[in-house]
Amino acid sequence: MSKALAVGDQAPELAIPDQQGKKVTLDSFKGKQVVLYFYPKDDTPGCTKESCDFRDVESQILRAGGTIVGVSLDGKESHQKFIKKFGLPFPLLSDESAAISKAYGVYKEKNMYGKKYWGIERSTFVIDPEGKVKAIFRKVQVDGHADEVLKALKA
């Protein structure tokens, strides 16, 4: 078990496909702050609200020198439908092997209605232009989260 990521650590590299199947790396965002948010599942109530909240503050995030990237275990077809349905203007990455989720320490055993399963714990990382972790939000509560992230981005 690797140690948990901390503020100031080098962010683990990504190399996973977006909704178009195009490989995305952290290097592709050099010079920008990246809001990397991990969410459990496309088109579910909490994830939809969180994604739409990020959509609604996207212009402010861009003005603050940031860019938004979502990550879940869903495949690209699921991401394409989710993006189209809610007009999401940022890429959603498919971490189908959970390798990136594990690298960021957000792939956890969960318990729903007494059933145990593995999945993503809703978490957001703000990564600075040099690829270092600037802020970490774990076990995210959706309400007000996009505004919290915006504050961290501007800090």
**Residues recognised as catalytic:** 47
Residue 40 near residue 120 (C-beta atoms within 8 A): yes
Amino acid at 16: I
φ, ψ for residue 34, nearest 5 deg: -110, 125
SS3 10: strand
Token pair, residue 16, equals 């996973």
Per DSSP, the residues of 12-49 read: PP--EE-TTS-EE-GGGGTTSEEEEEE-S-TTSHHHHH
d(CA 46, CA 91): 18
C-alpha 20: how far from chain center: 17
